[in-house]
Amino acid sequence: MAGKATTAWFNVAEFQDVYKELFSDELSLQKHALDRIDIWRSRSNNKLSSAIDCTASVVLAKIADSTDGDDKNSVQFMYGMAVLRYVNLIVEKQQEGANWSRPMHVMAEEVGVPQWIVDLRNNVAHNNMPSIAVLRLAADFALGWLKQEYWETQLEGVDDSEYAQRSCDLLNGYIKQREQEANDDEIDMTETLTNIDDFVTKNDCEIFLNVFVSSYLFAKFPSTNMEKDSQLTSCLQFWKPILRLINKARLSSVLFYTLIDKLTNSYDPLIHRMASKIVQDLRYVRAEGAIFTNAHNVNWKIMLDKCVAANNVEVVDIIKAIMPEVPGMTRNTKDKLDALTDLYSGSTIDDSVMTSDVHRLDDLSPINSEISYVISNGSVDWSRYPIGTCPAVNISSTNLELDLNTVTQCCDSATPVDMELSDGAPCKQRTVLTELEGLGNYIKLF
């Protein structure tokens, strides 16, 4: 297939997120973006695009400049190296394909980079470090140039419609061959399935899965018999080869996320049962009749996250099925989340997990004596809000990310446990991190 490319980022959305964070004004977001770029660098075996490396070095220097004000020499050196790398990038790109060397300032001028930037680069290269004030100006220019010439150009080149159309073509071809099979024609589907497998694993899988779920997965199965289990069985049988490919590519979780997104603020019994089937198969991969037989790369915590944020009381049963699989989830947290989902669905709540302290409106002490709390007379449809949230409160996927300092402090304060590595040495860190991987976001709700 022509035009295929392997990238270090999982999908277009991840690339867009890093772009937004790199060029934001918040240091925390910029640091988070640099962490993501480190992951990209690891994924690409240190063969990341030079433009991304240049951007990271400039942003890193600017962060150091704003936080390490006392160490001017170190900041000055970081700026100098960033400018040097930036100009070298330009020269390499402009020199590609040429049979002779051209003056550096001429090549820089061709792409809109002034000569004074090149002169700064030469001074740095010859150990004649310019002043930090001038280097700051050069870094700002380089960052603006990289944003316009690389990042925004890459984003403009992303055409989701092309991926979507290719997804439709592949799925239409699959349907045609399956229908021919039903007419007792001898059809070899190896090439079709290989093309789908190749496309899903080497392109934007989320676009394919969204097209698959939205327009194809249930399209051949009318809604008149929606409540009959035979409909799901027929659906699974028809799409079994593709579902197996998705599972083989370790994308079952992503398919699950796509299905749950379709259930957000709405309900479709067939989508609900398909999502339940995925959870059941991933929990019991060796069970008879399992379609999804590979449970590798399954992030149960994120799957639970998606269900909790779905604003749909009908997914409570899926939440309860996922909870036992979430690593590091304590019994106390599980009981409380059980009680919360029971409350949400209108079931009876076990009093043993409820707090003994009852807090009332009258117990609140206003911080400002001029402020008084009153009970709202407004009617709130709580089914529209995710479990554990209030109106106007949004939950982001980043809520569950742990600060590195927090992890370090917890590891430093951990006590020895009865978990050992293969060489017999106590493993404090593994146990602490396992606990930290629990649903910290839900614990906060209590």
- pLDDT at residue 219, rounded to an integer: 78
For 186-289, where are the alpha helices, taking DSSP H only? 190-202, 205-211, 229-248, 252-263, 269-283
**Global confidence as pTM:** 0.45
Place of tokens 């690389």: 150
Instruction: Please identify every stretch of the chain with a pLDDT value under 70, giving residue numbers as ranges.
Output: 1-6, 68-70, 97-100, 157-161, 184-185, 203-204, 222-229, 265-266, 311, 347-377, 384-446
Question: CA angle 402-251-316, nearest 5°?
Answer: 65
Q: Work out the number of other CB atoms within 10 angstroms of the CB of residue 163.
A: 20
For 346-427, where are the alpha helices, taking DSSP H only? 404-412
What pairs with residue 420 in β-bridges?
426
- pLDDT at residue 157, rounded to an integer: 57
- pLDDT at residue 5, rounded to an integer: 58
- pLDDT at residue 331, rounded to an integer: 86
- pLDDT at residue 434, rounded to an integer: 37
Query: Which string of DSSP letters, residue by residue, matches 68-101?
Result: -TT-HHHHHHHHHHHHHHHHHHHHHHHHTT-SS-
Amino acid (one-letter) located at 181? E
- pLDDT at residue 52, rounded to an integer: 93
Taken as a whole, the chain contains a residue count of 446
Q: In angstroms, rounded to a whole number, what is the distance separating the alpha carbons of residues 400 and 440?
A: 7
For 346-385, where are the alpha helices, taking DSSP H only? none
Q: In angstroms, rounded to a whole number, what is the distance separating the alpha carbons of residues 85 and 65?
A: 18
Question: CA angle 313-333-444, nearest 5°?
Answer: 85
- pLDDT at residue 444, rounded to an integer: 39
What pairs with residue 426 in β-bridges?
420
